[in-house]
Amino acid sequence: MSPDAAARNVALYPWFRFCQSLLFWQAIWFLYFQSELSAAEAIVLYAIYDVATFTLEVPSGYASDRLGRKPTLLLAALSGAVGSAAIAFGGDFAWFALGQAALGTAAALASGADSAFLYESLKAKGDGHRIEDEELRAWRFSFSAFALSAVAGGALALLSFALPFGLTALAFAGAACIALAFTEPPHDLTEAGGTLEGLRASVSHPVLAWLFVLAMLMYGYSHIPFVFGQPFIRSALETIGIAESTALVSGLVTAAMMALSVATSWGAPRVKRALGLAGLLLMAFAMQIVLTGVLALTANALAIGLLFLRMVPDSLSKPFILARVQPLLRDGTRATYLSLQSMAGRALFSGSLFLAAGASSRVGEMSHDQMQPILTAYALVGLLALIGLALWSRRVAL
């Protein structure tokens, strides 16, 4: 691979992430599903997304390691376009479920392959040491797209809940065009040992093991406000008599949280230098738990402002976790390992969502009274996990 081709990959990658992150439906998906179906079915639809991703997570990572990063990322973008279009034109539960399964497939295909593509392109360019800087740059592109699409999607939802899904399909088509311009980066498949041996060595590495468990837990706690945030906003707005503005307010809140996450990412390296990697990551996890606990305690409209903080923990953790694990992974199992890590997080959270669906109304909308015991349980379990990780971190040289 020529240095010019590698440099082009590195330059195009943030734009791929930008198009991939133009999820115009992100602030209204629960409201859409709930308006067509029920609160319980809306939760199950999200779980279907995670189950679909879970099923394909590791196979797609293995395919990326063996068949290449470019075709995997291209298929991811195409699957996202198909899934978004299906939901835009959907009507009954089965059609929505099909669309969610396609979106889950897109997430599985991109998981691991995207970060591996970036790291291997940087290595081919001779800049492997810049992985942390480039992960942060891609993060900013991604979350800028999240912010723009959230407010636009929330506004469009006032006209039709289907419109944001249609626009997202076009954005995924744009990501597919960018993927076609990628050049496959080199990765070494001749390392000693097979896939299972490589994964076993990675999982048994003290640093990778600690980060694996943390990333698995933080995935779920990052998505708790994503799943319950929209019905929470509706419940809070009902207390002041403006529930009809939920879609627009949800879009504005999502845009604000993404913009705040981008702003936080600029100062994140300084926080890391001050606290160390373990301190930074534990602080990020603690923020997720506190947010969950506060949402459980109150339905006051002022609490909507706390949702602005939802993605701040991600900006303080995800780029640094990826940058730390990449040099420790083998090329032949790089995407497979990252997919396995993501799969574990999705499986754990999907299981908890099926339990939550059992405690939710099967008719109509989810109230804060229904959310409260679910969120309280999440907060208590998270607190115990945080204590365990803090004690474990003392024995790991991060």
**Contact assessment for residue 225 and residue 296, using Cβ atoms and an 8 Å cutoff:** no
Report how many helices (DSSP H) and strands (DSSP E) the chain contains, helices first.
15, 0
HSE, side-chain direction, 13 A CA sphere, residue 178: 23
Rounded to an integer, what distance in angstroms lies between the CA atom of residue 26 and that of residue 225?
12
Q: At what angle do helices 113-125 and 69-88 cross, to 10 degrees?
A: 150
Range name among 113-117, 197-201, 330-334, 372-376 with the lowest pLDDT average: 197-201
CA 41, 44, 48: angle at the middle one, nearest 5? 135
Q: Is the pLDDT of residue 22 over 80?
A: yes
Query: Tell me: the pLDDT tens digits for 338-384?
Result: 888 888 887 888 788 777 766 655 545 556 677 788 888 899 999 99
For the record, the structure tokens of 86 come out as: 């299906």
Secondary structure (DSSP) of 148-164:
HHHHHHHHHTTT-SHHH
Range name among 7-11, 114-118, 172-176, 369-373 with the lowest pLDDT average: 369-373
For the record, the structure tokens of 78 come out as: 């195409």
Nearest 10 degrees: CA dihedral of 342, 347, 348, 350? 120
For the record, the structure tokens of 273 come out as: 């230098």
pLDDT-based confidence at 187, cuts 50/70/90?
Answer: confident
Query: Tell me: the pLDDT tens digits for 193-225?
Result: 566 777 777 778 899 999 999 999 999 998 887
Amino acid at 275: L
pLDDT at 363 (0 to 100): 47
Neighbours of 37 (CB within 10 A): 16
User: Domain boundaries in the chain?
Assistant: 3-183+195-393
CA 395, 195, 188: angle at the middle one, nearest 5? 95
**Residues ≥6 apart with Cβ < 8 Å to 268:** 136, 280, 315, 316, 319, 320
Rounded to an integer, what distance in angstroms lies between the CA atom of residue 103 and that of residue 83?
5
- In terms of Cβ atoms closer than 10 Å to its own Cβ (0-12, 13-18, 19+), residue 131 is buried
Rounded to an integer, what distance in angstroms lies between the CA atom of residue 385 and that of residue 398?
18
- Does the domain at 3-183+195-393 match CATH 3.30.1490.20? Answer given as no
Query: Tell me: the pLDDT tens digits for 49-89?
Result: 878 887 888 888 888 888 889 999 999 999 999 999 999 98
For the record, the structure tokens of 298 come out as: 């109150």
Secondary structure (DSSP) of 267-286:
HHHHHHHHHHHHHHHHHHHH
In percent, the amount of the chain with pLDDT more than 70 equals 92
Q: Region 116-131: what's the mean pLDDT?
A: 90
